[in-house]
Structure 1
Amino acid sequence: MSSEPTDAADAGGHRARLGQLSQVLELVAPALLVVGFAGALAEGVAPVRLDSPFSYLFYAGIASAFVAVYLAIFLHEDVEE
């Protein structure tokens, strides 16, 4: 008998890791948004301009929020009822 995981077990492992990634991004996104926005304002730079490293944090927060939402939708649509 081989101890290799089956395709179904392997797919379940990937789903679990993607679910964890979605949860981590949901936690990280607000922190990046707040730090990026507050830091850009403290430097006197608009958060939407790329004049400051804080602006990059702000955009990373927006991107991680979008990825978390779409990843959660993708994982939810893939569940059979």
Structure 2
Amino acid sequence: MSFLWAIIAGLIIGLLAKLVLPGRQPIPLWLTVLLGIVGGVAGNALASAFGVADTSGIDWIRHVFQVGVAAVLIALVTPMWARRHA
């Protein structure tokens, strides 16, 4: 069941990351989900390193780290994907 939640969270984080980036990112949905999952895991680790992984209420700072890391990953992967499929 946690694998299913990882996919759902990866989809949401990946789509939010694509929304914060300017322009169009012509990468497939499966790659967006994969980068969202990686961004979520790395964002959790980064939030833990800064001591903000668990706060009272909604962990907004942790979510910002997750989306931020996913956005950086998408920004790095998109040009490689476009060159490979052009």
Identify the TM-score tier after normalising by the shorter chain: 0.3 to 0.5
The TM-score normalised by the length of structure 1 is 0.39
Rg: which structure is higher?
Answer: 1
The TM-score normalised by the length of structure 2 is 0.37
